[in-house]
Structure 1
């Protein structure tokens, strides 16, 4: 009788013992990837590899990135003991400038770290620098023309062509002093604004097409407040 009781007890306890001993362990080969220096508009692809160094299945609940500019694709949500998993990432550098760090979060059943962080970092440089990046005409006077200048500098490694200059507001006129930029050279965009009577604000863009695959279009915002004439003046 006692023998049968001990046998039943052992059968009941075995799953609990096995569960307590086995656990997954997420180990990343290199959690920090540096892409160095790239031009704005380029995309960076990198695959992070990790291993389940534990003795129970590793379950990846979800993958999340710190911003929509970075996509992450998981090879599998279940990684067996001793098996390798991958996270394929793509970082879109459009609209970024300077040093950047993006984080990918892996949520798993690893009892020692439920959230594992992966990093993509580097420096994003504009192939064509705009200085200033936007133009504030400030105190404009109806019927009077005000001028501003924006310098374009080729920071890339090949000659670039400028073409198809346009403005999006009838109060704006613009011209560029060169139609091609050698490496390291600059050109100026001369912008003239002439607000109309009764106009309170001026807003528009100067748009220039380029031969750059990374920056095919330059958009220079132009805005300003228009002085309102006082009654009797």
Structure 2
């Protein structure tokens, strides 16, 4: 029995030593097997890649009312077609793709950016946004800068005469300053606005000095919006016009408020009321001859009313249950005996839910 246990112990030790001796050979065999088995190939993804040579350009000094352009060049450094989806720019700047919208791998493209100095003055910065199918850089921002050198400075930059009546004269003025180092002579001051008169002024302006141009508006017509420009041209810069926008409104003695009446969102068969106010600023009694709605389901309250001088009257507009579902737009018209304002009108709008 003792002999058997001793034999088994020796046999176990022998097997253990043999196993330890064989371990390096097994590791070597596994390493050889790994080296002989080629790694699995990873398929490369195909994507476009947009790369601009530059994303900023400085035009330097330019004069007013001038346009300058610069071309931004780019390349598709990816391995799939690059598609330019959109170009957007900020005010005073335009952008155009002067090459194909689709750029193949390795191909080149160009974006032309044009800046118009208009009436800008001093440093101006603008941006262009280039959108493409590049997954890593879908929107590229191109920036430009310039310094707009004005030869004349005009204040104010726009004129608003506000609301005024027919025959009611109102005055405004423009101050024009010479920003150059030499005298400047005003060649012409021209207005597109009817009934706007331009007064006399000193035409020659020395460096750093200014002249004042007086303007008088005396409207001869009623109920019109004043929209137009004043243009100033100098002999030294005949191709450059300074443009000053002009606005205002001519009103009559009869005023209807509000001019836009919104009934809101109404439920089906819901009744709603809105009021309009008519003011008679004339010296005579105003007769309302007829009040008519272009929408059958909006009824104006009217009883052949008259409005005394310097007085006001409110009319009620009511919706009827027959109002159809959906949005609506219409007009309310009021006929009067005033020869200058025989017809007053206001817009109607709203919506009826199902």
TM-score, structure 1 as length reference: 0.68
Counterpart of 1:231 in structure 2 is: 283
Q: Does structure 1 retain, via aligned residues, the 8 Å contact 2:95–2:128?
A: no
User: Per the alignment, do residues 218 and 157 of structure 1 end up closer, same or farther by CA in structure 2, a change over 3 Å counting?
Assistant: farther
Look up the match of 1:5: none
Alignment correspondent of 1:60: 83
State the Cα distance separating 1:189 from its structure 2 match: 0.8
CA distance in 2, matches of 1:78, 1:169: 50
Work out the CA distance in 2 between the residues paired with 1:215 and 1:128: 10
Could you say which structure has the larger radius of gyration?
2
User: Is the 2:129–2:139 Cα contact (8 Å) retained in structure 1?
Assistant: no
From 246, 267, 283, the equivalent of 1:221 is 246
Deviation at 1:64, TM superposition (A): 0.9
Q: Give, in whole Å, the separation in 2 of the partners of 1:166 and 1:112.
A: 54
Instruction: Identify which range, 25-34 or 142-151, moves more after superposition.
Output: 142-151
Structure-2 residue corresponding to 1:4:
none
Question: How far 1:118 sits from its partner (Å)?
Answer: 1.8
SS in structure 2 at match of 1:88: strand
Contact 1:142/1:195 (<8 A) preserved: yes
SS at match of 1:215: strand
Q: 1:30 aligns with which of 54, 60, 65?
A: 54
Query: 1:152 Cα shift?
Result: 1.2
Among 126, 149, 160, which residue is 1:101 paired with?
126
Give the CA deviation at 1:126: 4.4
8 Å contact from structure 2 (residues 119, 242) kept in 1: no
What corresponds to 2:343 in structure 1?
Answer: none
1:80 aligns to 2:132 (yes or no): no
Structure 2 unpaired stretches of 5+:
1-40, 254-280, 285-308, 310-354
Matched-pair contact (CA < 8 Å) for 2:166–2:250 = no
| Greater relative contact order (Cα < 8 A, sep 6+) | 1
Provide the secondary structure at the position in 2 that maps to 1:113.
coil
For structure 1, list consecutive stretches of 5 or more residues without a partner in the other structure. Answer: 1-13
CA 1:78–1:154: 2 relative to 1, 3 Å: same
After superposition, the Cα gap between the structure-2 partners of 1:104 and 1:138, relative to the gap in structure 1 and judged at 3 Å, is closer
Q: Secondary structure at the match of 2:240?
A: coil
Equivalences, count = 214
Instruction: Identify the residue that residue 50 of structure 1 maps to in structure 2.
Output: 74
TM-score when normalising by structure 2: 0.48
How far the C-alpha of 1:226 sits from its partner, in A, is 6.0
Once superposed, what is the RMSD of the aligned Cα atoms? 3.7
Deviation at residue 190 of structure 1 after TM alignment? 0.9
The superposition leaves residues 37-87 of structure 1 with CA deviations (integer Å, 9 ceiling, x where unpaired) of: 433322221122223334x24423344122584132333432433x54432
Show CA shifts across 1:110-142 (max 9, x none). 332233222223444544322112333457576
Q: Which runs of 4+ in 1 moved over 6 A?
A: none
Distance 1:139 1:85 in 2: 53
